[in-house]
Amino acid sequence: MNQLSLSNSTISKTQVIASSGVFKIELLKHVGEDDYSDLILISKALEEDYGKKAILTHETIQKYFNKEGSLPFIARYRDQIVGYIIGIPLEELSHEPWARMDENFGKRNTLYTYAFVVDSEFKGNGYAKMLKRVFLSWAEKNNQIDFITGHVINGISAQFTGDIRIVNRIENWQGTGKSFEYYRRNITSKGATEKNDPPLINRT
């Protein structure tokens, strides 16, 4: 019994969702300790834009990746983790004032994009787009989820397709000195793949 528990805690349980040659995307059903170091290493790429809080720890991996209601995917290249994306229920961020102020807080209908990162070596080859597409597709299949939200650097959401709204803008996000926007994507809108209405963006 102890051996079984140890095995369950060290080895990740995944389901391959999409693959292309040596690249594949997996749904993480449980993150085992064997994959912690790779996830933490990749998360360091987020520090420059999002600050030190974006770097994963053993505690945040357990809290968010292995949380019921979360939607985590990893990207592997030749069996090495090269990226990940994770959506968590908005209510899991009740300690954040901006989350509690969201009009959908408490409705259990919103996934917040806690992190989305692909190793710089693998950018520009379509892997990041594939990872995000799988994430959105699975979120859309969840009848309880109507919205995907997240924070991105000001102006980035203007590049997104879909029914996108800018809910708020935050100066000096998490002490980074950068202006971020909090966007909301309505994933229940049909025929809105090209719609984008970011009213709070200042274009120059």
Candidates 124, 122, 39; CA nearest to 81 is 39
Candidates 65, 20, 21, 18; CA nearest to 39 is 65
The pLDDT of residue 190:
56
Domain residues of the chain, as ranges?
A: 2-145
Instruction: Enter the pTM of the model.
Output: 0.86
Candidates 112, 204, 114; CA nearest to 158 is 204
| pLDDT tens for the 204 residues of the chain, in order | 344 444 457 899 999 999 999 999 999 999 999 999 999 999 999 998 898 889 999 999 999 999 999 999 999 999 899 999 999 999 999 999 999 999 999 999 999 999 999 998 888 888 999 999 999 999 999 989 999 999 999 999 999 989 999 999 999 888 889 999 999 999 997 544 444 444 333 222
For 25, the enclosing helix (H) or strand (E) is strand 23-30
What are the phi and psi torsion angles at 64 (to 5°)? -105, -45
Fold of 2-145: Aminopeptidase (3.40.630)
